[in-house]
Amino acid sequence: MNHPFEHRIKVRSYELDSFGHVNNAVYLNYLEEARCEYMEQRGLSFDSFREWQAFAFVVSAEIHYRSPAKYGDVLLVRCVFSRMRRTSFALDYEIYNETKGRLCATASMSFGFVDANEKVIPIPAAFREKMMPT
């Protein structure tokens, strides 16, 4: 079921903490940016979710930090769609620092689906179709 995806991000100055490293919380932004790009490549957008009246939300996020990234480093975010159940799915990530040649972090995020009333619902068929192997 996995469709590997890669997205590059260049570290910007405003993403740094007082020690000159990418702030830990910024890594969540990197994961979100990669996920949005990944979904677009699979033919999905935020408009798709509105059309279906089905909305994905983060259930859990787990990040394991390995080494810091600094201003100007080029990060390669690798993303893979790792699990799909009836009402949820998961993405696994690896953030690799191409500039330094080392792994910065690994992560996993789980998502559920709710309707406009915030009731948990099955994953929409159109979403499944876009994410299933071709």
77 closest CA partner among 107, 110, 56: 107
Q: Is 115 a catalytic residue?
A: no
The answer to whether 5 touches 34, Cβ cutoff 8 Å, is yes
Contacts of 125 (CB under 8 A, 6+ apart): none
- Among residues 17, 73, 92, 115, the one annotated as catalytic is 17
66 closest CA partner among 27, 120, 40: 27
Q: Helical H runs in 53-93?
A: none
Active site residues: 17
